Chain A
Amino acid sequence: MSDKASTGISRRELLMMIGAMAGSATSYNAMASMGLVEESRFNGPPKLDGDPKGASVLILGAGIAGMVAAMELRNAGYKVKVLEYNSRAGGRNWSIRGGDVYTELGGATQHCEFDKGLYINPGPWRLPYNHHGILDYARRLGVRVEPFQQLNFNAYVHSTQAFGGKPQRYREIQTDYLGHVSELLSKVTQQGKLNEMVSKEDEASLLDSLRRIGALDRRYRYVPGRESSNRRGFQKPPGGGLDARPIYSKDLTGLSEILKSGLWRSIGAGWSTEFQSTIFEPVGGMGKIGEAFGRELADLIEYERKVVKVHQNRKGVEVTYVDPKTDGNPRTVTADYCLCTIPLSVLSQIDLNINPKMQAAINAVPYAAAIKIGLQFKRRFWEQDEHIYGGISYTDLPIGSIGYPNTDYFQPGKGVLLGGYMFGPNAMKFTAMPPEERVKKAVEYGAQIHAQYPQEFDNGVAVGWHRVPWTLGCFGTWTDELRAQHYDDLCQIDHRFLVAGEHASYIPGWQEGAVTSAIDAITRLHHKVINA
């Protein structure tokens, strides 16, 4: 621990701390304003009472939104048909497993060579406990789930600009940060500088809480000792027998060093509601949910249908589709109503006759760059050598993070890591590379965190979402301004046409957005049909 940090607080350090706290408050407010810290509005399956009298609904897209709608409308007595571009169900609910073949826009084809049972989820990979809707459908479809570790105290936080580029354990950085901040606040409190903000009565409780939360000693100091070592780990941990006496951890990181490192940014990464325990994942890959929906709705879904035109008239809706492989063999199907879950990136290019406001909304939303890279290694060295069982390490390298598998712990044989998960400019840059180059770069960067990478690397796959043929992007990137201008127009029923999907939700990029959007859409549609 640096003398400076234990003996006093510089004005600059205090300002930096306040800045750090204001920063997290700012992002909390930004997220709250987008509804992102709200729990799901899901309140059980929709109750679609009343007779639809044989009304038919054509659903475009067999992703989560389309299949939730198809299942519920079928159960309510509608005639339902689903048209899907791909030859599988699920959409972005998708796992790539050994033996799978994936061809992206531009023609690059990847053959996944993972071992049996190993997979990567290119799209969603987490089911937060408070996303009640998607979890309820997983349960109803008999999809088994297991815990997803978001926060692993023994995983790394890493900056190329700090600690000589050596990755630090989350547990140490988190403990040291909280320790120093608590000590500083204790000092200020004891010096009576909070007089106007904290009553005399509360002062004792505040000090007591700081001592416990900061792992401070009895004199409110963050120093080597039992309290700090119980949190950040011992230099020599307690054991049994003659040589059992523990040695306390002495190398507490100084406050200034932590602040300069920027690693405090990672401390709160798992604290927002979507990342709090408990989070789940389907056993065997996220794609298990889409696959289960596909089996349930096997007689409703028609695959390899590329929609090119949706026109409505007084009597119904006409949808024209072609064969995606040839763009030929146009066919037309009709229905009373059309629920369209096609991503706006694609829908904005389809011939529609809808009201101009809705069309403007469809045209207004850009789609995000994102990329995920799955890397198979010859052994689970992160467990065997570093005792990291699941969770995520964070880095300022372009790969952003490394995700460890949350299943099959201690198994011999190979294992698959999420070797990169990027957004924004880094995702664009990586997606612009050929797939094998993306994998090669992810191995090069990852080797700065795990030295075992070059020796143990086996093979990999990389999915850049701007190159995915059926979404042209990861998710709709709404801003507050775009929502104010277009969101309500997008979600209206236009005569016989309406949309659903994560893009028609305030939970962008999450499956819960697709579920709640679909339920809201079909509930309003049903009301219209019953009262027609």
Chain B
Amino acid sequence: MKKTYVKGLAAVLLMAVAGPVLADNAGPSMTDKPTEAASQMPLGEQVYTTTCQECHMPNAMGAEGAGRYPALAKNPKLAAKQYPMVMVVNGSKAMPSFARQLDADEIAAVVNYVRTHFGNNYKDKVTAAEVKAVLPKTGPYEGH
């Protein structure tokens, strides 16, 4: 699902960021292939189920403990397609940026997936080109 170079970059980024803990790892995973069931899913659903639902939950209802993860289900903030797109690209507070973990196609697909599922029914789509326009052009780890 992910292109190798994207994954390589993500690994380098995480190495630089996480340092002490990741120094433990043998290196980037070379076997991170989607399961057969996952590979039959549409791309947006694949990204949601392997990434977003970690925090926003399988039913997109979010969760609350000492702090909370907002629900994406029936969320009126999704009406403007730029809002979820920029959230995924830039992150917000505890939520990390996914600009290096996901590519433009994946970000567009997952934004469109969330905006048409979980009680959301928005007709307009985000394109990969629109995502590329807001992805950071260069970054501190581009050279690696």
Residues of chain A in range 78-108 having any CB-CB distance to chain B below 8 Å: 85, 105-107
Q: Mark B73-100, 1 if CB is under 8 A from A, else 0.
A: 0000000000000000001011111000
CB-based contact B94/A345 at 8 Å: yes
CB-based contact A469/B51 at 8 Å: no
Contact of B95 among A274, A366, A398, A507 (CB under 8 A): A366
Question: What is the CB-to-nearest-CB distance from A28 to chain B, in angstroms, rounded to a whole number?
Answer: 10
Residues of A within 8 A of B58 (CB): 106, 432
CB-based contact A432/B50 at 8 Å: yes
Smallest CB-CB separation from B57: which chain A residue? Answer: A106
Residues of B within 8 A of A26 (CB): 144
Residues of A within 8 A of B18 (CB): 368, 423-424, 477, 508-509
Given A424-B101, A426-B29: A30 touches B19 (CB 8 Å cut-off): yes
CB-based contact A479/B17 at 8 Å: yes
CB-based contact B97/A85 at 8 Å: no
Contact of A396 among B15, B26, B54, B94 (CB under 8 A): B26
Residues of A within 8 A of B129 (CB): none
Residues of B within 8 A of A129 (CB): none
Given A105-B69, A266-B26: A423 touches B14 (CB 8 Å cut-off): yes
Q: Mark A359-398, 1 if CB is under 8 A from B, else 0.
A: 0000101111110000000000000000000001011111
Complex CA distance for A123 and B17, rounded to whole angstroms? 18
Stretch at the interface among A65-73, A156-164, A195-203: A156-164
A31 interface residue (CB < 8 Å to B)? yes
CB-based contact A467/B140 at 8 Å: no
Contact of A30 among B11, B16, B49, B101 (CB under 8 A): B16
Complex CA distance for A272 and B11, rounded to whole angstroms? 19
CB-based contact A472/B65 at 8 Å: yes
Contact of B49 among A34, A36, A324, A432 (CB under 8 A): A432
Residues of chain B in range 93-144 having any CB-CB distance to chain A below 8 Å: 93-97, 101, 140, 144
CB-based contact A397/B31 at 8 Å: yes
- Which interface residue of B7, B67, B68 has the most chain A CB atoms within 10 A? B67
Given A368-B18, A401-B24, A421-B24: A428 touches B31 (CB 8 Å cut-off): no
Complex CA distance for A431 and B52, rounded to whole angstroms? 10
Count: A-B pairs, CB below 8 Å: 183
B55 interface residue (CB < 8 Å to A)? yes
Smallest CB-CB separation from A157: which chain B residue? Answer: B26
Smallest CB-CB separation from B23: which chain A residue? Answer: A272
Contact of A262 among B14, B27, B63, B101 (CB under 8 A): B27
Given A106-B63, A366-B91, A481-B140: A425 touches B97 (CB 8 Å cut-off): no
- Which interface residue of B32, B54, B55 has the most chain A CB atoms within 10 A? B54
Complex CA distance for A84 and B10, rounded to whole angstroms? 35
CB-based contact A398/B94 at 8 Å: no
CB-based contact B23/A275 at 8 Å: yes
Residues of A within 8 A of B64 (CB): 105
Given A30-B19, A479-B140: A394 touches B25 (CB 8 Å cut-off): yes
CB-based contact B23/A269 at 8 Å: yes
Q: Mark B24-40, 1 if CB is under 8 A from A, else 0.
A: 11111111100000000
Question: What is the CB-to-nearest-CB distance from B68 to chain A, in angstroms, rounded to a whole number?
Answer: 7
Smallest CB-CB separation from B30: which chain A residue? Answer: A396
CB-based contact A269/B32 at 8 Å: no
Smallest CB-CB separation from B101: which chain A residue? Answer: A425
Complex CA distance for A105 and B65, rounded to whole angstroms? 7
Complex CA distance for A425 and B21, rounded to whole angstroms? 15
Residues of B within 8 A of A477 (CB): 17-18, 96
Contact of A31 among B11, B19, B68 (CB under 8 A): B19
Complex CA distance for A34 and B15, rounded to whole angstroms? 12
Residues of A in contact, count (CB < 8 Å): 77
Contact of A467 among B26, B52, B54 (CB under 8 A): B54
Smallest CB-CB separation from A265: which chain B residue? Answer: B27
Question: What is the CB-to-nearest-CB distance from B54 to chain A, in angstroms, rounded to a whole number?
Answer: 4
Complex CA distance for A433 and B5, rounded to whole angstroms? 25
Residues of A within 8 A of B66 (CB): 85, 306-307, 324, 342, 346, 469-472
Residues of B within 8 A of A365 (CB): 94
- Which interface residue of B2, B11, B14, B91 has the most chain A CB atoms within 10 A? B14
B41 interface residue (CB < 8 Å to A)? no
Residues of A within 8 A of B17 (CB): 368, 477-479
CB-based contact B67/A425 at 8 Å: no
Residues of A within 8 A of B144 (CB): 26
Smallest CB-CB separation from B55: which chain A residue? Answer: A466
Residues of A within 8 A of B95 (CB): 366
CB-based contact A274/B94 at 8 Å: no
A317 interface residue (CB < 8 Å to B)? no
CB-based contact B51/A432 at 8 Å: yes
Q: Mark A169-196, 1 if CB is under 8 A from B, else 0.
A: 0000000000000000000000000000
CB-based contact B94/A105 at 8 Å: no
Complex CA distance for A429 and B58, rounded to whole angstroms? 12
Contact of A345 among B20, B54, B67 (CB under 8 A): B67
Residues of B within 8 A of A324 (CB): 65-66
Residues of chain A in range 1-41 having any CB-CB distance to chain B below 8 Å: 26-27, 30-31, 34, 36
Given A344-B94, A509-B20: A27 touches B15 (CB 8 Å cut-off): yes
Complex CA distance for A201 and B41, rounded to whole angstroms? 67
Residues of A within 8 A of B29 (CB): 396-398, 400, 426
Contact of A425 among B26, B27, B32, B63 (CB under 8 A): B32
Question: What is the CB-to-nearest-CB distance from A415 to chain B, in angstroms, rounded to a whole number?
Answer: 21
- Which interface residue of B21, B31, B63, B66 has the most chain A CB atoms within 10 A? B66
Complex CA distance for A396 and B11, rounded to whole angstroms? 12
Residues of B within 8 A of A508 (CB): 18-20
What are 15 contact pairs spanning A and B, CB under 8 A?
A31-B20, A160-B30, A161-B30, A265-B27, A346-B67, A363-B93, A366-B94, A367-B94, A429-B54, A432-B51, A466-B54, A468-B65, A473-B94, A477-B96, A508-B19
A26-B144, A324-B65 given; 4 more Cβ-contact pairs under 8 Å: A349-B68, A363-B93, A366-B94, A469-B65
7 shortest A-B CB distances, which residue pairs? A469-B65, A345-B94, A394-B26, A346-B67, A366-B96, A105-B63, A265-B27
